[in-house]
Each structure stands twice: as C-alpha cells, then as structure tokens.
Structure 1
Amino acid sequence: MHGARIHHEMHHGASKARDIKMMLRDAGLRPTRQRIALADLLYKHGNRHISAEQLHEEAISARVPVSLATVYNTLHQFTQAGFLREVAVDGTKTYFDTNTSDHHHFFNEEDNSVVDIPGGSLAIDDIPEAPEGMEIVRVDVVVRIRPIERG
C-alpha cells in the first residue's frame, strides 16, 4: 500500500520530499513541485478524509499556487497509483482517504464529515458473485449518521 508507506516514512524522520519523489517516480508520476506539495499536505496530519475543495483551500493557505482542477487531477492520479482511496457519498460528494486499507465509513449528514468505522465492527455476508468476466475489487459501505434531535 503506497499511501501507508508514504505515511509511515513521513512520520519517521526520513526526508519527506525525497520519499515523496521516490513514491511518485515508482508510480510513474513526475515529481512536480505541486504534486510534492499536495502529497505533503495530504499526509502530514496522519490518516484523514479530504475533499478536493478542502485540499485546495489548504494549498492556497499554505501558499501553494495550484488550481482546483490540478488538485482534482492530482487526487485522481494518486488514487489510481494506490496512494489514496476514493470514498463516494451520494454520487455528488467525493472524499479521498489516506488510509488505503480495507475498511468502511460513517458519513455525518450534519457537517459532511467522513470517519472510519472501526475495523472488524462490520461484517458483510453473502456478497453476490460478480457477473461473468468481472471480479469484485472491493466493497464500500457508507453508513449515514446524524445527531439525535433532542426535545
């Protein structure tokens, strides 16, 4: 899992920029300044779920000159390379998860946040066979939650 490897190496004192460059090159992506800066923003706070818009705002705040389109493209390239996992909510909201392990999510309807469901607390039985010539890549479960209304 590339994402886990980047995350591990970045938090163990190795040269972050060098590690990111190596990961990008291994994935066949040119290590541009923008890609390196976006990877640094993605992984420096540990595992999290972030939208393209949120990452774009962080980049602008960090004085990284990047367009929203470039952020989208980079997030999709990182996902294809295995650095991120895409979490689709509603078909209109997409979050990118730095934790690429096999796990599921809660989606909080009140604040549009996504959090991991603790491992092992959700079992899925009787997954149907994939149609002929197809294989199941993974199963994504998004459990929608909201605060209980009091009163």
Structure 2
Amino acid sequence: MAGLRPTRQRIALAELLFSGDHRHVSAEALHGEAGAGGIEVSLATVYNTLHQFRRAGLLREVTVDAARSYFDTDTSDHHHFFVEDEQRVIDIPADSIVIQGLPDAPNGMEVTHVDVVVRVKKV
C-alpha cells in the first residue's frame, strides 16, 4: 500500500476513501463514516493516516483556511471551489484557471504545484 505497512486501520480507512468516486473528505467526516461502519479508530489515527496517505501520494490536501483541510482522492492537477455556507469542496478543472506571473523559485528549488481555492457562497 504505497510503501505503508498495511495495518487493519489503514486498510479500513483506505476502503472508505477509495471504494467509490473521487471525493473530498475532512478527517472528522471520515472518522464519522468509520464509526458508522463499525470501524473503531480514534480521530487522531484518522488524521495521522490521512497525512500518511498524502505523503505517499495517494491523496491531495486542500487547505481552505488555517483550521480546516479536506483530503482529495483525485491527485491529478486541478483546483477547487470552497462553498462556504455548505463547508463543501468542488473540483475546478486545471485548464479553467491560467496561472501567470509566478516568481522564480529560490535557488536550488522548483515550483511543484500551485493550488487555487476559490471561495464561494450562495446569494
């Protein structure tokens, strides 16, 4: 499993995350799904597992503000809307946004990715 030891909890969380369509999930929502499915796992373990999956390249983290992140099962290059009044993330195709005028990366570094989160709310 992407270089990670396949523990019972990792396998159970991976099945919840990757058994359907691509989606965006918070740690709290995944913890709730696990509990509802009879999977005993602490919220701290869910957070740790999500971050391990992200580091292994299985998930992308979408940070919508300093206190809130969602994890995206679609690791392809794309951007996101954050629907503020629904606390929901929606994909934006990569070719829908043109990024121009990025500064050169510092010496010895390269730009690896640009994440755009467009915040929206219903009117």
* Equivalent in the alignment of 1:112: 87
Query: How far has the Cα of 1:133 moved from its partner?
Result: 2.0
Q: 1:75 and 2:72 equivalent?
A: no
Root-mean-square deviation (CA), in Å?
0.9
Q: 1:46 and 2:21 equivalent?
A: yes
Q: Of the candidates 2, 12, 32, which is equivalent to residue 7 of structure 2?
A: 32
Q: How many residues align?
A: 123
Structure 2, unmatched stretches of 5+, are none
Structure 1, unmatched stretches of 5+, are 1-23
**Paired residues for 1:55-94 under 5 Å:** 55-94=30-69
Q: TM-score, normalised by structure 1?
A: 0.79
Larger radius of gyration: 1
Residue-by-residue CA offset, 1:29-84 (whole Å, 9 max, x unaligned): 11111111100000122100000000000000000010000000000000000000
Matched residues in 2 for 1:137 and 1:91: separation? 21
Q: Secondary structure of 1:120's partner?
A: helix
Answer 1 or 2: which has greater helix percent. 1
Q: 1:146 and 2:121 equivalent?
A: yes
- Give the aligned residue type for 1:144: R
